[in-house]
Copies of this chain bind each other. A is one copy, B any other.
Amino acid sequence: MVERRRPIPVQEAIDHVWDHRLPGETEVVSINKSDHRRLADDIIATNPVPSFDKSPYDGFALSSADTDRGGRNNPVEFEIVEHIGAGRVPSVKLKKGQATRIMTGAMIPAGADCVAMFEICQEFEKDGKPYISIKREMSSGQNVIPKGSEIKEGEKLINRGTLINPGVKALLATFGYSKVKVTKKPLVGIIATGTELLEVEEELQPGKIRNSNAYMIESQIIRAGAEYKYFGKLADELEPSFQAVEDALNEVDILITTGGVSVGDYDLMPDIYDKLGAEVLFNKIAMRPGSVTTVAARGNQLLFGLSGNPSACYVGFELFVRPILNHLLGNKKPFLKRVNAVLGDDFPKPNPFTRFVRSYLTFENSIIYAKLAGIDKSNVVSSLAHSTSLLVLPGGTRGFKPGDEVEVLLLDNEQGQEQFY
């Protein structure tokens, strides 16, 4: 069935999809399994830091009052009554003229209010007992990190939605989060369509190509922080194809089909959407590549019909699927981070429609350059391997030269922004 398609602007397509976003679910995992997950709750300080007055240095804890009038010509003497390493709890309450030998990070003993560093103390023995003398006055609180001075109990440290990286994991450990509430990974179904497709382990046959899009999308899903299930290829008959799509929809949060959405014969997808009772939000976008991207909604469940062309499929996923996955994952900045860069290559082609060009960034002298991935190859797939960003060339522009300022969408997972534009 040949279908009429009305192209809509990219932003309008984004908005249609975004209107169907759903909140995600949460689950509790061990801190050991929490890397790269997103926090479902804020991290709150469950105790003050430090949780006791502590020493920043190796030295002797004592009462500053006891150093009164100490000076170059008036050494003050202290008997060392205890010796505590970090993690040892002081057991002796200091009396006048007594001090405790203390290590970095250790707890200040009762009766002490300052720490004299080793360097200013003269150690000696008297009557078989260890002593020190100090030739200066100390002040109360000197060389003491007070309880709660770094973090107050109950302070909010990290917002929910944040990706758990080494620093966040350290915070979780510090505050005893042995179990962590994280957002659940959405499950994304993948269905390939196209009689021409062979699976990766199959021998190449005349007229056929191996299915690379399904593997590429799997990897994009993983990069986005979600999980996938591959349902194989659709047969080229309506009834079993419809059944396969409906069955898949019952198992997954989101379904992606790739291919089968060409403008010519044999495209069963429109009939399948129809039979599913899915509303087609749009089936053509004023952009290159990926103009024949279709998105349909059954209730609030989204079906993404991405192009069979690898580069169109790739771009369609990043622009439309990824923000929805990010939202399900609790990411407060679900859209690809957009930055300005200086174009490092020539792009002479005019752009009748918004064009998304495979590219990567380089940094020179504090300036960001965008370079085209695989500019000297027609080979689309190998240029995707080198892409870390998508150059955005607005529709109606006439080509770009090296040195022109351009906009670039970053594909990495650590950054993002609240709106598409």
Q: How far is the CA of A155 from the CA of B158 in the complex (A)?
A: 48
Question: Which of B170, B218, B367 interacts with A381 by CB under 8 Å?
Answer: B170
Question: Which of B51, B104, B158 interacts with A204 by CB under 8 Å?
Answer: B51
Whether A331 is near chain B, meaning CB under 8 Å from some CB there, is no
Question: Which of B85, B219, B363 interacts with A169 by CB under 8 Å?
Answer: B219
Shortest Cβ gap from A120 to chain B (Å): 15
Shortest Cβ gap from A65 to chain B (Å): 24
Residues of chain B contacted by A87 (CB below 8 angstroms)? 194-197, 207-208
Contact A207 B88 (CB under 8 A): yes
Sort chain A's interface into a size bin: 35 or more
Contact B381 A167 (CB under 8 A): yes
Residues of chain B contacted by A36 (CB below 8 angstroms)? 222
Whether A47 is near chain B, meaning CB under 8 Å from some CB there, is yes
Contact A213 B170 (CB under 8 A): yes
Whether A215 is near chain B, meaning CB under 8 Å from some CB there, is yes
Contact (A363, B339) CB under 8 Å given A32-B218, A166-B216: yes
Whether A298 is near chain B, meaning CB under 8 Å from some CB there, is no
Residues of chain B contacted by A83 (CB below 8 angstroms)? 265
Contact (A386, B167) CB under 8 Å given A51-B204, A173-B212, A204-B176: yes
Contact B310 A262 (CB under 8 A): no
Question: Which of B167, B208, B209, B378 interacts with A383 by CB under 8 Å?
Answer: B167
Q: How far is the CA of A107 from the CA of B58 in the complex (A)?
A: 79
Within 8 A of B (CB), among A226-276: 236, 262-266
Contact B366 A165 (CB under 8 A): no
Whether A282 is near chain B, meaning CB under 8 Å from some CB there, is no
Question: Which of B31, B165, B264, B381 interacts with A174 by CB under 8 Å?
Answer: B381
Report how many copies the assembly holds.
Answer: 2
Residues of chain B contacted by A236 (CB below 8 angstroms)? 85
Contact A216 B382 (CB under 8 A): no
Residues of chain B contacted by A32 (CB below 8 angstroms)? 215, 218
Contact A209 B174 (CB under 8 A): yes
Whether A353 is near chain B, meaning CB under 8 Å from some CB there, is no
Q: Looking across the interface, which residue of chain B has its beta carbon closest to that of A313?
A: B170
Contact B178 A200 (CB under 8 A): yes
Contact B35 A86 (CB under 8 A): no
Whether A201 is near chain B, meaning CB under 8 Å from some CB there, is yes
Residues of chain B contacted by A208 (CB below 8 angstroms)? 87, 89
Q: How far is the CA of A50 from the CA of B208 in the complex (A)?
A: 9
Whether A388 is near chain B, meaning CB under 8 Å from some CB there, is yes
Q: How far is the CA of A319 from the CA of B193 in the complex (A)?
A: 47
Q: How far is the CA of A31 from the CA of B196 in the complex (A)?
A: 21
Residues of chain B contacted by A220 (CB below 8 angstroms)? 166
- Which 9 pairs from chain A and chain B are nearest by CB? A87-B196, A167-B384, A87-B195, A167-B385, A58-B264, A170-B216, A166-B219, A107-B207, A173-B215
